[in-house]
Structure 1
Amino acid sequence: MNCLVIDCSTRWIICGIHSLHDGAVIPGAEIRLEAPRESSTRLVAEIGALVKRTGLRPDYILSALGPGSFTGLRIGVTTARDLSQLWNIPAAGIDTLTLYGWAVREHDSIEEPFALLFDGRQKRYYTKKITNDLFTTRDEIIVDLDPLEFESIGLSQVYVDDPSSLSLPERVRIRTIPPEALTARSFFETALKLDAFHPEKSWKDLIPVYIRDNPARPNQPASAAQ
């Protein structure tokens, strides 16, 4: 299996092509670009460059489903859906907090449960508890959380994409998500552990995780809407 991995959920564009042969992951090639608001112009070109560089034709697609940047998420998932139809290959999706959380856990060798937070704007955070069991992590509910509500989770350590915007009780250790932990290969390996790849899966299974009813709706005073 040659798997194309796509993620544009946050400020990074992450994509890569890696293979599975006789139960072992064979490294291909990948990129991670810090390019906020550039996924619409760069993602497809980067995928084309990866296909050319590796000489591998993907026969499966793995897409991060969010939550995260509304625009980046829409572009990443739409691209995965389009390529799945164009190449007539199956596609699987996993929520981004599981993919990032497990990548961070493996990279930093974390044993105790922790929380992973994405800045959801409007003073809200998309939050998920990352446990030491991958299947439990996947099944944890993604919460749209106000920082003042964080103690209700009962965890003492959080990883966040932008710690400068976060204020939590002193007992909570705030750490930055290490970019080097976020690789297409780690996402691919996580999906393999979750047994996410099945031939009957299709682009129709790639449904973005937006959390809020209308993530594009501006937060404005009632008087401004009149």
Structure 2
Amino acid sequence: MSALLLIETSTRLCSVAVAIDGVVVAEHEELDPKGYRHAEALNPMIQNALSDAGLRVRDLSGIAAAHGPGSYTGLRIGLAAAKGLALPWGIPCYGVDSLELIAEAVREAVPSELPIWSAMDARRSEVYSAWFHPDGVRSSDDLPEVIEPTWAERPAALAGGDGVEKVLEHWPKLQDSGVRYARARHALAGALRAT
């Protein structure tokens, strides 16, 4: 049996999932509109997800957590929890790119043949972004990008992430999937590739 704990804390959504043999069997999440509560919420969510799956930490065969880009504090909380659980039990730990999680969320929400553009708000007039083929395979590195008038010439794409809203007026061919945040379950594909 392969049991994976999946953690996503790179955005305002704090999310945990447990997958057994490649199937998500338990999920817990919290989105606090007032800000980040990851430090308070994450450990109880992990305990509840493991309990829902009928597992203990020592039963896990791996732990995967989003490693960025994203909220510096949120990422530290998620990665510290993953390492803190993994080290005492000798459980392998895997990092999954946050933009890849968003691409998986977009694929789940809106099946399309368009390339996927994942974008996270980097403040000011910037986004962190990456391109993915419609099947979810990455086609670019993570890029910090400054939003510019030349974006009007960019090709059609399906987009997700909390950076999308700030670019829509500059990129007419961009289709908004409506996905703003990925959930921990979206780390499963990356975690399975890493194991």
Residue 72 (structure 1) aligned with residue 74 (structure 2): yes
Query: 85, 92, 115: which is aligned to 1:83?
Result: 85
Distance in 2 between the 1:92 and 1:149 partners? Answer: 38
SS in 1 for 2:194: coil
CA displacement, residues 82-139 of structure 1 (integer Å, 9 cap, x when unaligned):
111122200111111012112212321021113111101132110111213444x1x6
Letter in 2 for 1:55: G
**Distance change >3 Å, CA 150–CA 65, structure 1 → 2:** farther
Residue 103 (structure 1) aligned with residue 105 (structure 2): yes
Residue 113 (structure 1) aligned with residue 110 (structure 2): no
Residue 53 (structure 1) aligned with residue 52 (structure 2): yes
Q: Which residue of 2 aligns with 1:205?
A: none
> How many angstroms does 1:5 deviate by?
0.2
SS in 2 for 1:144: strand
Q: Which residue of 2 aligns with 1:160?
A: 161
**Distance change >3 Å, CA 153–CA 30, structure 1 → 2:** farther
TM-score computed with the length of structure 1 as normaliser:
0.73
Q: Which residue of 1 aligns with 2:20?
A: 19
CA displacement, residues 49-95 of structure 1 (integer Å, 9 cap, x when unaligned):
22223221322101111101111111111211111112220011111
Q: Which residue of 2 aligns with 1:30?
A: 27
Distance in 1 between the 2:6 and 2:150 partners? Answer: 32
CA displacement, residues 178-219 of structure 1 (integer Å, 9 cap, x when unaligned):
36x844333213432xx211xxxxxxxxxxxxxxxxxxxxxx
**Distance change >3 Å, CA 64–CA 153, structure 1 → 2:** farther
> How many angstroms does 1:27 deviate by?
3.5
Letter in 1 for 2:172: R
SS in 1 for 2:95: strand
**Distance change >3 Å, CA 121–CA 176, structure 1 → 2:** farther
Q: Which runs of 5+ in 1 are unaligned?
A: 198-226
> How many angstroms does 1:176 deviate by?
5.2
Letter in 2 for 1:32: E
> How many angstroms does 1:6 deviate by?
0.4
> How many angstroms does 1:10 deviate by?
0.7
Letter in 2 for 1:45: P
Residue 185 (structure 1) aligned with residue 182 (structure 2): no
- On the 8 A contact 2:120/2:164 being kept in 1, the answer is no
Q: Which residue of 2 aligns with 1:196?
A: 194
**Distance change >3 Å, CA 164–CA 103, structure 1 → 2:** closer
CA displacement, residues 129-183 of structure 1 (integer Å, 9 cap, x when unaligned):
1213444x1x62111111117629933233232555445425233525436x844
Structure 1 or 2, whichever has the larger Rg, is 1
**Distance change >3 Å, CA 132–CA 167, structure 1 → 2:** closer
Q: Which residue of 2 aligns with 1:44?
A: 43
Letter in 1 for 2:36: R
Q: Which residue of 2 aligns with 1:9?
A: 10
SS in 1 for 2:69: coil
CA displacement, residues 15-42 of structure 1 (integer Å, 9 cap, x when unaligned):
111101xxxx343211121133100111
Q: Which runs of 5+ in 2 are unaligned?
A: none
- On the 8 A contact 2:5/2:18 being kept in 1, the answer is yes
SS in 1 for 2:91: coil
Distance in 1 between the 2:150 and 2:169 partners? Answer: 8
Identity %: 26
